[in-house]
Amino acid sequence: MTDTLKRIGHLKVPSVEMSTAQLNWAYRRHITLHLKSFNQSFQAGYIATDHFSLISINTCPIFNNLHDPIISILQKFISTLPNPNQQDGRLTLLKNQNSQYILSFQFCSLNELNRILFQEALEKYPIFSGILVTSPKKQWIIGNPYSEQKIENLIFRFTPQAFIQNHPEQSLYIYKKICSLTTQLKSKKILDLYCGFGITSLLLASQGHFVTGIEYNSDAIRFAKENSKL
């Protein structure tokens, strides 16, 4: 790409500063798994290259280390959920600041599911801190679905329903880089597009900028407003 820009476009391409990550395994803050119907219940995993088959997993090296049983525990739990209509679903697993996990389920319908099963799972598996179960018509919130992140003395709270950069080390580098670039701006007005739940917006505001955040996700907007008051 760089060669093409120089040779064909006759453009000057500045060198890009590279920042290598020290965390290469078990670094991801969250993963999203597909839930497929299996033996009148569910099985979790990733979709294969045929875009249909499920690759069932018991660990994910870029998410959890080999001694962390979270995905095995998850598979055990979802195998107890009734699924007579053989519906599929999605599940996002998010780490919190206390080495626990937040589960966010998405189903087409909750008619065949029972809220009590999720409440019992929270009591049975202390590794779960909170569970969200949603469908187009209903939502169950069980336990504490929030994770917290501290950056530059600012605290940010969010759930799996809002997007967050996945690599803790590299995302921190990105935030600091953005803040360093804006210190040279003459204008103090900044438009933060796709601001999410407000990390860059609030970091820039703490530097004295007047920041307007633009976001579509209603949950992220709500978290951004809450985070501005922490």
189: which strand partners? 210
Q: pLDDT tens-digit profile of 139-190?
A: 999 999 999 999 989 999 999 999 999 999 999 999 999 999 888 777 789 9
What is the enclosing helix (H) or strand (E) of 70? helix 70-78
- Tokens 């088959």, residue located: 53
Coil/strand/helix, residue 56: strand
Q: Give which of 149, 151, 131 is closest to 141, Cα–Cα.
A: 131
Model pLDDT, residue 27: 96
The residue extents of the domains of the chain are 30-143, 147-228
CATH 3.40.50.150 applies to domain 147-228: yes
- Tokens 């799972």, residue located: 121
User: What is the rounded distance in angstroms from the CA atom of residue 26 to the CA atom of residue 64?
Assistant: 5
CATH number corresponding to 30-143:
2.40.50.1070
DSSP one-letter string for 92-125? EEEE-TTS-EEEEEEES--TT--HHHHHHHHHH-
- CB–CB of 182/190 below 8 Å? yes
Coil/strand/helix, residue 222: helix
Q: pLDDT tens-digit profile of 87-105?
A: 999 999 999 999 999 999 9
- List the binding residues for S-adenosyl-L-methionine: 165, 194, 215
Could you give the percent of the chain with pLDDT greater than 90?
Answer: 85
Q: Give which of 117, 121, 175, 115 is closest to 149, Cα–Cα.
A: 175
pTM of the model: 0.88
- List of residues 6+ apart from 149 with CB closer than 8 A: 97, 155, 156, 158, 164, 199
- For every residue of 149-173, which 3-state class applies, written as one string? EEECCEEEEECCCCCCCCCHHHHHH
- List the binding residues: 165, 194, 215
